[in-house]
Amino acid sequence: MARGTTVRKIIEVQASEELKIPSFDGGGPPSSPIASAEPTVSNARLAVLMFLAAEAMFFAGLIGAFIVFRLSSSAWPPPFQPRLPVTVTGVNTVILLLSGLTMQLALRAVRAGKSEGLIWHLLATVLLGGIFLGIQGYEWVRLIQYGLTVWSGIYGATFYTLVGCHGLHVLGAVLWLTVVLIQARQGRFTAERCTGVETCSMYWTFVVGLWPILYGLVYLY
């Protein structure tokens, strides 16, 4: 073991020397001879970013399909189909955007080391997300009573698929937030160790940021 460390040191010493190697093809000394400790974006954050890119493509597929149907139909919403509740959903949009704000405040709190602030803001985010889902569920029940179902035509099918997929994502995000909230109450996060809050907030921001686009497309356009 001791021998290994010495050898390692020798290599590091050599590597840190200014090596002048005539370049052949791509030759030259390593740019950073000693293993760099901190990557620019940590593994966990990078993985969540990639995951969100994939999610974005999933919704791009659904939104693309929606736009195809929207553009190819002469009247939208089609005649004899119920109208969507624009105002209530508008209020709901504001609620979800507010939850995005509280999530950012939670993140700021944990980075400043304020665990009280983290817990309260996480709780507010969970509640706002829950209210959003509750209002949406109520809306769906009303719409189904008015006769808008997945099989009532392409209008209902695209509505339930797009809004439903987003709703499922909000549900998943609320569950994730609840886990983070429980961990926060156990005091798992500090200003230095808060990857769990950071990754969850990235996902929440995605889910919140996607909604105004869907609201604009499905309800207003």
Partner 1 sequence: MSDSVAVVATHAVPAHHEELGFWRTYVFSTDHKMIGRQFLFLGFFMLVLGGLMAMMIRWELAWPETAVPGLRWLPEPYAYEGIIPPQTYNMLFTIHATLMIFFVVMPIMVGCFGNFLIPLMIGARDMAFPTLNMLSFWVGLLAGLVMLAGFFVPGGHAAAGWTAYAPLSAKAAYTGVNWGQNLWIISLLILGVSSLMGSINYITTIVNMRAPGMSYFRMPLIIWSLFITAVLLLLALPVLTAALAMLLFDRALGTSFFLPEGGGEPLLWQHLFWFFGHPEVYVLVLPAMGVTSDILSTFSRKPVFGYHAMAFSMIAIAFLSWIVWGHHMFVSGMNPLMGTAFMMSTMVIAIPSAIKTFNWLGTLWRGSIRFTSPMLFALGFVSNFLIGGLSGIFMASTPVDIFIHDTYYIVAHFHYVVAGIIFALFASVYYWFPKMFGRMMNEPLAKIHFVLTYIFFNATFFPMHILGVGGHMRRIYNPTQYDFLHPLQPINVFITVSALLLGLSQITFVTNFFWSLFGGKKAERNPWKANTLEWAAPSPPPHGNFDALPVVYRGPYEYSSPEVEDDYLPQNRPLITQSSAPRTH
Residues of the shown chain interacting with partner 1 in the complex, contacts defined by CB under 8 A: 1, 3-4, 7-8, 10-15, 17-22, 24-36, 39, 41-43, 46-47, 50-51, 53-55, 57-62, 64-65, 68-69, 72-73, 150-151, 153-154, 157-158, 161, 165
> Cβ closer to partner 1: 42 or 190?
42
Give residue for tokens 């659904």.
62
Q: Mapping DSSP to helix (H, G, I), strand (E, B) and coil, where does residue 114 land? A: coil
Determine if the peptide bond prior to 77 is cis (ω within 30°). yes
Please state the closest distance from residue 27 (CB atom) to partner 1, in A: 5
Which CB atom, from 73 or from 190, has the smaller least distance to partner 1? 73
CB 23 → partner 1: shortest distance, Å? 9
Which CB atom, from 128 or from 173, has the smaller least distance to partner 1? 173
Closer to partner 1 by Cβ: residue 55 or 120: 55
Helices vs strands, H then E, count in the chain: 6, 0
Nearest to 213 by CA among 68, 98, 97, 124: 97
As to burial, measured by CB atoms within 10 angstroms (0-12 exposed, 13-18 middle, 19+ buried), residue 170 is buried
